[in-house]
Amino acid sequence: MTNNIYLETNSGLIEYLNSNYKSDTLFIIDSNLTDINIDEKVNARVFYFDINEDTKNLTSVEKIWDLLFEQNLNRSSEIVIIGGGVLLDVCAFASSTFKRGISFSFVPSTLLSMVDASHGGKNGFNNSYGKNQIGTFTLPERVIICYELLDTLHIDNYKDGLIELIKHGMIANEKIFNSMITQAGFNVDFETIKQGINVKMNIVNEDFLEGNKRKLLNFGHTVGHIIEKDSNYEVTHGQAVAMGIYYELLISKEQLGLPKDIINSYLNYLNKIEYNYKYNFLSNSKKLIEILKHDKKSSEENVDIVLLYEIGNPKVINLTFNEVIEVIQN
Ligand SMILES: NC(=O)c1ccc[n+]([C@@H]2O[C@H](COP(=O)([O-])OP(=O)(O)OC[C@H]3O[C@@H](n4cnc5c(N)ncnc54)[C@H](O)[C@@H]3O)[C@@H](O)[C@H]2O)c1
């Protein structure tokens, strides 16, 4: 099981890294973190990489493998990866396959990677068949979560993390949901982040290889993926999931009697973070059903979708494609 370390400040992070990693540790750092000058402060080998969603591919994996060979790493070496979900996913894949697997730790530097991508062991990269189609399930040795790293994060990236965090609250922890919807402004406190991490860890600990329980983490994502595809990826993942949650709440009301005030609270929240809730679908019903058919949770005419009875009480329900499409198109 992964060990989580929580640190408040960047100076605390540097101190932790210097006292817990030997000087031959390899640090791979997101190039947007150069301002913090980690390279000047840690006693280790440091390399910066600029990998984004468009270059989250085999070529980038090969660049990381090359670095590991050039630096003569072996199976007893240690790697620390500091960055957002893209860098963590690519470097964890490269590390987990280099010489059949070499141990690595994560320092997630975006809100989304803190509450989601760094827990659960999934890694990978994109290819022409889709996102994250090649990958392994390999857990990091440690996840070191430093709150102050979030200070430099762009607001749009911060909002993407907020959506995953409120989703964690909706499926499993009412305290997270209430704290986020009642808080003035958007900044979340460290305690709420820690609770969000616990939601993800509890679920993946019960179902590491995504048999059943882990499907709950897909709340908002079934419709979110339809929106991403329908918009030809013009709508970002975070915004699409935000709207996907809204539509899946509407379906929850219809199918499971979810109280309307929860939908209203969520709409107020989206308003606060200046995110849209409604999406104008470009495709007709027939085309939307085709998109839904490609969802990994779909069979011939039905899809398994996560719905809520209320906050903290989710259930995977099997619906026909028409039952989903009718609600989202109205
Ligand atoms: N493995 C999993 O279980 C899992 C789960 C969810 C998402 N993901 C993956 O995570 C990726 C999205 O991750 P993300 O939202 O972190 O995006 P990202 O890694 O692209 O980071 C967003 C941007 O923020 C920059 N950045 C990172 N930390 C910063 C900081 N502290 N200050 C300033 N800028 C900083 C990055 O360089 C990048 O430009 C997707 O590829 C997705 O597939 C994986």
What pLDDT shows up at residue 170? Answer: 98
Ligand 1 centroid – CA 159 distance (Å): 12
Residue nearest to atom 14 of ligand 1 (CA): 85
| Ligand 1 atom index nearest CA of 160 | 15
* Whether residue 1 has pLDDT greater than 80: no
Pocket probe for ligand 1: among 112, 204, 207, 237, the residue whose CB has the most ligand atoms within 8 Å is 112
Structural contact between residues 157 and 110, judged by C-beta atoms closer than 8 angstroms: yes
Pocket probe for ligand 1: among 9, 31, 86, the residue whose CB has the most ligand atoms within 8 Å is 86
Residues having CB closer than 6 A to ligand 1 are 30, 32-33, 52-53, 56, 83-87, 89, 109-110, 112-113, 116-117, 120, 122-123, 131-132, 149, 152-153, 157, 160
CA atoms of 155 and 322, how far apart (whole Å) = 36
Ligand 1 centroid – CA 53 distance (Å): 9
CA-nearest of 62, 228, 248, 234 to 167 is: 248
* Whether residue 176 has pLDDT greater than 80: yes
As annotated, the residues of the chain forming the CATH 3.40.50.1970 domain(s) are 3-153
What pLDDT shows up at residue 292? Answer: 94
* Whether residue 212 has pLDDT greater than 90: no
As annotated, the residues of the chain forming the CATH 1.20.1090.10 domain(s) are 157-183+191-329
What pLDDT shows up at residue 303? Answer: 96
- Secondary element (H or E) of residue 143: strand 142-146
The residue written with tokens 């670095």 in the block is 67
What pLDDT shows up at residue 296? Answer: 85
Ligand 1 centroid – CA 155 distance (Å): 13
* Whether residue 229 has pLDDT greater than 80: yes
pLDDT-based confidence at 2, cuts 50/70/90?
A: confident
What pLDDT shows up at residue 211? Answer: 83
Pocket probe for ligand 1: among 110, 134, 146, the residue whose CB has the most ligand atoms within 8 Å is 110
* Side-chain-facing half-sphere of 198: CA atoms under 13 Å: 12
Assign domain 157-183+191-329 one CATH number from 1.20.1090.10, 2.10.260.10, 3.40.1410.10, 1.10.150.120.
Answer: 1.20.1090.10
Query: Considering only 190-204, 241-255, 284-298, which range has the smallest mean pLDDT?
Result: 284-298
**Mean pLDDT to the nearest integer, 117-135:** 95
* Whether residue 210 has pLDDT greater than 90: no
Residue nearest to atom 5 of ligand 1 (CA): 117
**Mean pLDDT to the nearest integer, 163-169:** 98
Per CATH, the number for 3-153 is 3.40.50.1970
Ligand 1 centroid – CA 253 distance (Å): 32
The residue written with tokens 């509450």 in the block is 115
What is the model's pTM? 0.96
